[in-house]
C-alpha cells in the first residue's frame, strides 16, 4: 500500500528551503508555500511516465518543436511555487532546450500520473496552480480508469479523453495522436 501524501502545516516553504531537504527518495514540491511530499512512485506509475515521455519526445523532436522532460526536474513559477511534473514539454529556443532552471512560463504542457498518494494534490492543488500560471495544457493520467483528463486555462471541467488524445502545439501544424487503448495496454502490459 502506498504511503499517504505528507503535508506540512508550515506555510512559509520556498524553493530554496525545499532544495535543502535530503535526497531520500521522496519528491518534495511547494505550492503557495505549502510543502507536498510524495513517496517513490510505483512500477505502473513509472511505466506510464516512461511511455508518455517517449511518445512526447518522439513527436516533439521529429517536428523540431521541443523536448520532453520528466521528474525529478524542478519547474519554478515563483519561489513559493516549485513542482516536479511527472512529464512535461518545453519548446526549443534557438534549436535547443534552455539549460539551467526550467522556464515555467514556457511549458507547452505538464502531466501528472495519479497515484493514491498524489491524487488530491494532482487534481486540486497542482491543477489550480497550473491553470493560474497559464500552463497551456495540464494532463491528469488516470491509470485505473484508463483515461486522461485534459485541462486548459479557463476550463470549468476537463476534456476527458478515453479513446484517443490529440495534441496540437500552437504555432505548429502537426498533431500528436495517442490511441489510449493501445497506450494503457502497453503501460499495463495487457496483451
Split at pLDDT 50, 70, 90, the class of 1 is: very low
- Would you say residue 95 has pLDDT above 90? no
Q: How many CA atoms lie within 13 A of 147 on its CB side?
A: 9
Percent of the residues in the chain that have a pLDDT greater than 90, as a whole number: 51
pLDDT at 102: 61
Phi then psi for 141, rounded to 5 degrees? -95, 115
Percent of the residues in the chain that have a pLDDT greater than 70, as a whole number: 89
Domains and CATH numbers, the chain: 41-188 (3.90.1570.10)
Split at pLDDT 50, 70, 90, the class of 163 is: very high
What is the average per-residue pLDDT within 117-132?
A: 91
Split at pLDDT 50, 70, 90, the class of 54 is: very high
**DSSP for the chain, written as a single string:** -PPPPEE-S-----HHHHHTS--SS-EEEEETTEEEEEPPPPHHHHHHHHHHHHHHHHHHHHTTSEEEEESS--EEEETTEEE--SEEEEE-BTTBPPSSSEEGGG-SEEEEE--TTTHHIIIIIIHHHHHHTT-S-EEEEETTTTEEEEE-TT-SS-EEESSEEEEE-TT---EEEEEHHHHHHHHHT--
Amino acid at each position: 500500500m502506498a504511503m499517504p501524501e505528507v503535508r506540512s502545516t508550515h506555510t512559509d516553504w520556498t524553493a530554496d528551503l525545499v532544495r535543502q531537504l535530503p535526497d531520500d527518495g521522496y519528491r518534495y514540491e511547494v505550492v503557495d508555500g505549502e510543502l507536498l511530499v510524495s513517496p517513490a512512485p510505483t512500477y505502473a506509475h513509472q511505466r506510464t511516465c516512461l511511455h508518455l515521455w517517449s511518445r512526447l519526445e518522439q513527436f516533439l523532436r521529429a517536428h523540431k518543436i521541443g523536448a520532453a522532460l520528466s521528474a525529478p526536474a524542478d519547474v519554478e513559477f515563483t519561489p513559493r511555487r516549485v513542482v516536479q511534473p511527472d512529464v512535461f514539454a518545453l519548446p526549443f529556443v534557438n534549436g535547443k532546450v534552455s539549460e539551467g532552471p526550467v522556464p515555467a512560463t514556457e511549458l507547452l504542457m505538464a502531466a501528472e500520473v495519479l497515484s493514491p498518494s498524489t491524487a488530491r494534490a494532482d487534481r486540486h492543488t497542482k491543477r489550480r496552480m497550473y491553470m493560474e500560471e497559464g500552463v497551456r495544457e495540464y494532463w491528469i493520467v488516470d491509470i485505473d480508469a484508463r483515461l486522461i483528463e485534459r485541462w486548459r486555462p479557463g476550463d470549468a471541467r476537463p476534456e476527458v479523453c478515453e479513446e484517443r488524445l490529440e495534441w496540437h502545439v500552437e504555432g505548429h501544424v502537426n498533431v500528436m495522436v495517442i490511441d489510449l487503448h493501445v497506450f494503457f495496454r502497453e503501460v499495463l502490459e495487457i496483451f
